[in-house]
Each structure stands twice: as C-alpha cells, then as structure tokens.
Amino acid sequence: MISLLSGLNPEQLEAVTLPYQSALILAGAGSGKTRVLTTRIAHLIHSGQVSPNGILAVTFTNKASREMMARIAAMLPINTRGMWIGTFHGLCHRMLRAHYQDAGLPKTFQILDIGDQQAIIKRMLKDLAVDEKAFPPRQIQWFINHAKEEGLRASQVEAHDSFTRRMLEFYRVYETLCMREGMVDFAELLLRCYELLTRNEILRHHYRDRFSHILVDEFQDTNRLQYRWLKLLAGVDLPRSAVVFAVGDDDQSIYAFRGAHTGNMQDLEHDFAIQKIIKLEQNYRSHGNILEAANALIEHNRGRLGKNLWTSEGHGEPVRVYNAVTDFDEAAFIVDEIKALHSEGVALSDIALLYRSNAQSRVLEHSLFNASLSYRVYGGMRFFERQEIKHALAYLRLIAHPDDDHALLRVINFPPRGIGARTLEQLQDEAKLHQTSLWSAALNKSGGETTAISDEGKAKKGLPSFVHLIMMMQRACANLPLPETIRYMLTHSGLLSHYGLERDGAERLENLNELINAATSFVHEAEDDSLVAFLSHASLEGGEHQADHHQDALQLMTVHAAKGLEFHTVFLSGLEEGLFPHENSRNEVNGLEEERRLMYVAMTRARRRLYLSFSQSRMLHGQTHYNIASRFITEIPDHLLKWLQPLSKVNSESFRSVSEQAGFTFGRNSWGQSAGKEAIQERLTANSSEQLSRWRIGQNVSHAKFGTGVIINYQGEGADIRVQVQFNRAGTKWLLLEYAKLTPL
C-alpha cells in the first residue's frame, strides 16, 4: 500500500492528493493523466475520504473502463465490480435500468445500436411512403442524434425552413416508434437520463448525496449534453457540491464531428470555480524521437493551449517511413516488419496497426491472414453486429419483450417458415389499424394465445408456427440460466440447423457458439445476469471483450479507437492526402486541425517504435486512387525520420515513365532523400513495360492456387495493373499482376 503514491512526480502527486476541490488537469499525451486519475480514486478510498460507493468515474471506452477497474483492484483489496466506473452511455444506462418507471420506459427496454437505428429509420420511411433518395436515412439519423446530443426534443428545435420541418416530422414519428417498441438509441440514453434527473427531485438528490467525487478522463471529448449531465449530477448550484476532477488534452480533441465541445474546458473552470489548472509535462510513454516528431507536428496547429512535453528517456530509434507502390506492397512490408519484431521478442499484442478509416483494414487483414499472424480488429465488424448474431439476438429480444417490432421483422421468416410478404403486409396493416405491436397483431391473427398453445404437437406452418415458437421459448426459458436459454433458443429457432446446411455456415455456427461463451462469461462477471441485462450489454459493449482475449494477437483499429492506449510498436498506414488528412477536411482550417490532432493521437500511442507508411496507389471502394504523401509526413523534421532502404538497383528511365504515366507526385521528403526515391524506383522497375508486354487479353495462364485460366480483362496502369482471369475451376478473379505470379501458357 505504501507504493500507492510512490513513483509519482511532484505535479502528479499534487494532483492525486488535491484536497476537496474541483480540478482540471491539462496535459499532453502519455504524461500520466489516466494514471493520476486512477491513483486518485485509489488514494481517496484508501485514505478514507470516500467509500467506493461515493465515486463516479467516466471513461471514454469500455476497454478503458475495464482497465481502470483492473488498475484500482491491483492497488486496493476491494471489489470494483459494483463501482460506478464506465462510459457516459454505460452509466446512464445503469441509472435508466434502475429507474425505468420514473424514466417512462418499459422494464425490458432495449438499446438500439447505430445499425439498428438506421434500419428503423428505413422502415419508418417505407411506412410513410417517403423516397429514401429525397431524404437519405443517414441524414435523418444524423439530424435526430445531433438534436439529442444538443439536449433537444423535436418540440424544442426551431424550424425556419421546410427541410427542417420535414426532419422534425421524422424525428417525432421515430420517437413514437421507439417508445411503442421500447427501444432506446445511444443518444437517447443520455438525454433521457438527463431529463430524469432534471425532473425527478428525489432521484437527483439521491445521486447528488451519493457521489461526492466525479472523475472524468478524456474530458476534451465531452459534448454539451454530457457536460450538462455532469453539472447536474455534481449539483454546482448547491452550497456543497460534488467535486469534479477532469483530465484532458486539447491537442487530442478528436470528436468535434460528433459534437464534442472544447469550450467545456473553459466552462468547467468557470462553473466549478477551478482555481488552478495543473499541467503535467513529463512524458513517460515514448522515446525522444517519437515525442519530438509528435510535438513538431502538432505545432502546426493554431490556438493551442500550449504545452511542452519532454522525456527523460533517450532519443531511441528514428521514426521509420515507408513509401509503398500499392496498398498490397504496403501490407507486405508491414507483415515482414512484424515478423522480424516478433522474432526479436515483441509480443504481437504490443503491436498496433492503426488507420484513418475502417475500409483500410481489409487489405491488411488479408495479408496478415495469409501470413498466419493472429490479429484482432477493434470496432470493425463487431461481434454483435454479425448477421447470425443479430438474428440470435432478435430471438432473445422477442423472448424478453415480444412487442419489439424490429426484432420480430428480422426473424419472423428467418429461418424461412413460409411467411410471405402478403401475410406480413396484412399483419402490418392490422397493427397500424389497432395501434398495436406486430406481435399483438400476430397473436390475434393466429387465433390467440390459447389456440396457439393447445395446437402444440400438430405440425404448424406460417404465422401460427412462429407465434407458437416464441411462446414456447418464453415458457421454456423463464427459469433457465442465461447460457441455457441461448442454447435452447439456438436449437428451437432453427438457426443452428439452418446455418449447419449453409455452404459457408461453419464460421457462423462458431460465432453462435461463441455467443453462448459470451453469455457464460457475462454471468460470471455481471451483477445482474438477466437476459435483459445481457441484451443491453450486447448493444453497449460491441463484443470486443468476447473475442479470444487470451491469445497473443496484433491489434487493428482506427486511430479514433486507439485513444488512451499505448503499444510498443505502432504502424500507421495510409498516410496519403485525401485519406489522412481525410478529403472531407482538407480545405477547411478546423477540419484540417482536427485531422492533425488525430495524427498526433496516432503517433503518441507508440512507446518505442513508430512506422509511417503511404502508398502511391490504393484500391478503395472499387477504384484505384493515385496518391501523394500526406502533408503530415512533411511536417515532421527530416532528422527524426528514417526512409527505409530500397532492395536493389535502379532503372531511372522506366521509373520516370511509369511514375509520370501514373501521375505520381511526391512530398518534399520522398524527393529530398535518395533512399526513399530509390525504394520507389526499385519497386516500379519490377513492373516495367517490357514485363507487361508478356500479357494480353486471351492469354492462357496458370496460377499456383487457382489453376489454369484465361485473361479476360485488365485495369490500372504502371505498378498497379490488375488482370481479370477466368479460371477453369476457381471462377473469375481480379489479381494484382505484380503479386499474382502468373505463368503464361
């Protein structure tokens, strides 16, 4: 226990042991903000200033809150499970569950994730006979969420034009729909919780009395509503309010596009009468060169609050830069480096592959898979978003709450049970007419509860069979433990046998079994292990936790998802104009500065080694793009960079012709340093025209894996030529000529 405060530097110690007063710790990446926050919680409890019940701590991701609990548990012999540590969404959800009646929600209310929400908006548009082209669902979704994040209900939004009036109409209908089906979207969790505390004095007092210390990590990314929620909970208007301890870094504010409001920092200072802002300037994470590179980059932003980060570690290694010819080449390079690092003893889980957009992960995944390197993708196609899992969850939702139209529509005819579009239409008409859920309409139509049950045993088809199935599941699962409920549902719904028959069903079956495992570990870990609690967990958690987390695996994620984390080695790929900085932001100062902060976040995740790579051509959304290196690379001083060496000799003639043909342009660094230039030359020579002339449409070829076939088409230029081959057995495929190793026949 003596070790609790030891090892902290004087500023950190001051922050951890501050007396009962609100504080803002403003400090750069890797300076120990999260460590200070966690240590302060342990210190407050350990020194008897507050019981674990009196603490509310907000983190940005589920991963971060799990880590925080683990760190506290390592410092103190207490059970952190019941503590109020979580994300804004998670904490609000917890309050709403506890007070669902006061919040005007059904006991079994369900959470809608982004995908569900979009599906519901689409369904609504169909019901209203509105053309999706005139009012794209995404736009409506953005409008609704944005309004909610500003704390506004439809009646509170001012509409000065016909477009906004139309949007408000959608907002209203959407709300009615969600309420009728007992569904709550992410933004609603927060807004409803805020409204609950505003309206209900008893609850407000209860929570204000309870939480005397509110601690917030990544404060720079809070939005207005989250800030108002904190303020309300702390009770700043009272003589003795809770104290707020917020840590943040203005240079890492990367959620402005989702309503994050950096003005919250100034508001906090003012509203909570903060006398002193503590700064931490020593970075404990990264070696000198990495830190210096990140500092130099972020200096290009204006209007910063200003910090000076230093490290007592040595310079370490230079930042490595790789200039690839294609995205495949980039991935191949990354794979080679990973293999080398791994053989030197770096754990795969201590290596991160970061990218700006999710779409970039595909090529990387492909190469990692071929190289048999284990990896986990965070925030990509998340476990609970997979089709088969969504189907399974829909059945579970119906067991818990059959009035959930969304769930019902998903599985009423899946696996197919002969319920056609006509039956469904009649059902929807009926439900509309009587203002009921589809389930009530189905019950009516299939002869009511009694017939459905007394019919048991007889072979049923169509709607009655579905009604019967759901009722049977409800009865059977009423007293089963959660994993058994899932097992029962998987068998009786027909999902297992359906996917068992599918050609590519093996992986889906594996995932369905994984759902049982997920439920088993949920039952062990959660306080409330009911089906309803599990369903909420599935929506909030995203399922990253369920993936096999014991295995040593590379970590793939977007830069946004990497916030707050650290790794021995970071590969940051796709550093190209248009991709990073993203094209939507390039022409606008605020947008560009936010991209630069994102780049700063990415670079500062690395402890020892940082790789930056870009590719001259890249296949994205089915098109080949020719790129120039990101300006961010040129913003890093040359002496901190190491351009990786080419492999062999150079043919400058073919280099120039191919690169001109492809329209390549390079940033200062790639021209300025011969190593980078030679690397490009070497790769391009491999594809010089003399090699290309060996191929023509109609050419018979053979491929090591796909066998023999004939070239039927080609696209791209220079180094990026892809050919389409119709294989005799393996079907038609597009292959990158440089890598396909085709043999002419």
Spot the catalytic one: 11, 12, 34, 80.
34
Closest CB to Mg ion among residues 248, 676? 248
30 binds, among Mg ion, ligand ATP, none (CB under 5 to 8 A by kind): ligand ATP
Q: Which helix (H) or strand (E) holds 672?
A: helix 668-672
Give catalytic status of residue 217 as yes or no. yes
284 binds, among Mg ion, ligand ATP, none (CB under 5 to 8 A by kind): ligand ATP
Query: Is-contact 16 5, C-beta < 8 A?
Result: yes
Closest CB to ligand ATP among residues 183, 214? 214
SS3 740: helix
DSSP state of 55: E
Q: Please give the structure tokens belonging to residue 568.
A: 């021995």
Give catalytic status of residue 594 as yes or no. no
Q: Does 32 bind ligand ATP (CB under 6 A)?
A: yes
Q: Does 220 bind ligand ATP (CB under 6 A)?
A: no
Give catalytic status of residue 475 as yes or no. no
User: Of the listed pieces 24-32, 359-367, 417-425, 513-521, which binds ligand ATP according to CB under 6 A?
Assistant: 24-32
Give catalytic status of residue 34 as yes or no. yes
709 binds, among Mg ion, ligand ATP, none (CB under 5 to 8 A by kind): none
- Is 543 marked within a binding site? no
Query: Is-contact 550 328, C-beta < 8 A?
Result: no
How many CB atoms within 10 Å of residue 247?
26
Spot the catalytic one: 149, 217, 249, 541.
217
Closest CB to ligand ATP among residues 249, 595? 249
SS3 350: helix
Q: Please give the structure tokens belonging to residue 537.
A: 């967990």
| CB contact set of 167 (below 8 Å; sequence gap of 6+) | 140, 143, 159
User: Of the listed pieces 325-333, 386-394, 556-564, 674-682, which binds Mg ion according to CB under 5 A?
Assistant: 556-564
Q: Does 248 bind ligand ATP (CB under 6 A)?
A: no
- Cα gap 673→658, rounded to integer Å: 20
Q: Please name the residue that has the structure tokens 């003893």.
A: 345
7 binds, among ligand ATP, Mg ion, none (CB under 5 to 8 A by kind): ligand ATP
In this structure, the dihedral spanned by the alpha carbons of residues 344, 348, 354 and 359, taken in order and rounded to 10 degrees, is 130
Q: Which of 543, 564, 581, 676 binds ligand ATP (CB under 6 A)?
A: 564
Subset of residues 42 to 61 that bind ligand ATP, contact rule: CB under 6 A: none
Subset of residues 269 to 328 that bind ligand ATP, contact rule: CB under 6 A: 284-285
- Alpha-carbon distances of 456 from 444, 493, 604, rounded to whole Å: 17, 16, 63
Query: Is-contact 88 190, C-beta < 8 A?
Result: yes
| CB contact set of 129 (below 8 Å; sequence gap of 6+) | none
Q: Please give the structure tokens belonging to residue 623.
A: 């098109």
- Cα gap 183→204, rounded to integer Å: 24
Q: Does 17 bind ligand ATP (CB under 6 A)?
A: no
Spot the catalytic one: 116, 218, 292, 566.
218
Least Å from the CB of residue 365 to ligand ATP: 26
Least Å from the CB of residue 286 to ligand ATP: 9
Q: Beta strand pairing status for 606-620 and 623-626?
A: antiparallel
Q: Does 30 bind ligand ATP (CB under 6 A)?
A: yes
Q: Quote the distance between the C-alpha of residue 372 and its chain's center.
A: 25
Q: Which of 402, 542, 564, 581 binds Mg ion (CB under 5 A)?
A: 564
- Binding pattern to ligand ATP, positions 449-488, x when CB under 6 A? ----------------------------------------
Closest CB to ligand ATP among residues 71, 677? 71
Least Å from the CB of residue 260 to ligand ATP: 15
- Cα gap 723→340, rounded to integer Å: 32
Residue 247 Rama label (left phi>0; alpha psi -120 to 50; beta): beta
Give catalytic status of residue 38 as yes or no. no
31 binds, among Mg ion, ligand ATP, none (CB under 5 to 8 A by kind): ligand ATP
- Cα gap 462→211, rounded to integer Å: 53
Q: Please name the residue that has the structure tokens 């754990």.
A: 347
Give catalytic status of residue 222 as yes or no. no
Closest CB to ligand ATP among residues 406, 605? 605
- Is 27 marked within a binding site? yes
Cα Rg, the chain, nearest whole Å: 29
Phi/psi for 687 (5° steps) reads -110, 25
Q: Please give the structure tokens belonging to residue 532.
A: 């309803």
SS (H, E, C) 562-627: HCCCCEEEEEECCCECEECCEHHHCCCHHHHHHHHHHHHHHHCCEEEEEEEEEEEEEEECCEEEEC
Q: Which helix (H) or strand (E) holds 495?
A: helix 495-501
User: Of the listed pieces 26-34, 365-373, 545-553, 734-742, which binds ligand ATP according to CB under 6 A?
Assistant: 26-34
- Is 29 marked within a binding site? yes
- Is 31 marked within a binding site? yes
- Binding pattern to Mg ion, positions 6-35, x when CB under 5 A? ---------------------------xx-
8 binds, among Mg ion, ligand ATP, none (CB under 5 to 8 A by kind): ligand ATP
The upper half-sphere exposure of residue 274, i.e. CA atoms within 13 Å in the direction of its Cβ, equals: 23
Q: Does 12 bind ligand ATP (CB under 6 A)?
A: yes
User: Of the listed pieces 5-13, 364-372, 533-541, 586-594, which binds ligand ATP according to CB under 6 A?
Assistant: 5-13
Q: Does 29 bind ligand ATP (CB under 6 A)?
A: yes
Closest CB to ligand ATP among residues 11, 403? 11
Binding site as annotated, residues: 27-34
Catalytic machinery residues: 33-34, 217-218, 252, 605
> For binding to ligand ATP (CB under 6 A), which residues are involved?
7-9, 12, 27, 29-35, 249, 252, 284-285, 564, 566, 604
